[in-house]
């Protein structure tokens, strides 16, 4: 049996449910729109392993630094693509 409190909780959540449905439906363009999984497809190409490794000594070598920069640039370009897709 459903309690009065459970019924009241459902009734109280109607406003939020309506907002979510409008956002997913695109009815209320002023609100944030739903983000689809497609938006995050660029992130699928992130490698499980980074090229860069921990520096062997107190300061990184040029090769260690360059591989770290490559990793950071790859992640930045993927995030930039996600940001571009979010702005569409």
**pLDDT 10s per residue in the chain (88 long)?**
667 777 777 777 777 777 777 666 665 555 555 667 777 777 777 777 778 888 888 888 898 888 889 889 888 888 888 888 777 7
Give the per-residue pLDDT at 53: 81
- CA-wise closest residue to 64 among 74, 76, 53: 53
Q: The pTM is what? A: 0.52
Give the per-residue pLDDT at 84: 81
What domain range is 26 assigned to? 1-34
Distance CA 54, CA 4 (A): 59
Give the per-residue pLDDT at 74: 86
Q: Say how many domains are in the chain.
A: 2
Query: Do 47 and 88 share a domain, yes or no?
Result: yes
Give the per-residue pLDDT at 49: 77
Query: Do 48 and 82 share a domain, yes or no?
Result: yes
Query: Do 18 and 50 share a domain, yes or no?
Result: no
Query: Do 82 and 43 share a domain, yes or no?
Result: yes
Query: Do 24 and 43 share a domain, yes or no?
Result: no
Check: CB of residue 78 under 8 Å from CB of residue 42. Answer: yes
Query: Do 41 and 14 share a domain, yes or no?
Result: no
Query: Do 54 and 28 share a domain, yes or no?
Result: no
């Amino acid at each position: 049996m459903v309690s009065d409190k459970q019924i009241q909780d459902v009734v109280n959540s109607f406003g939020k449910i309506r907002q979510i449905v409008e956002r997913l439906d695109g009815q209320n363009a002023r609100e944030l729109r739903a983000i689809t999984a497609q938006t995050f497809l660029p992130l699928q190409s992130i490698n499980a392993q980074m090229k860069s490794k921990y520096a062997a000594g107190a300061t990184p070598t040029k090769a260690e630094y360059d591989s770290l920069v490559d990793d950071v640039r790859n992640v930045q370009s993927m995030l930039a693509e996600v940001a571009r897709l979010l702005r569409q």
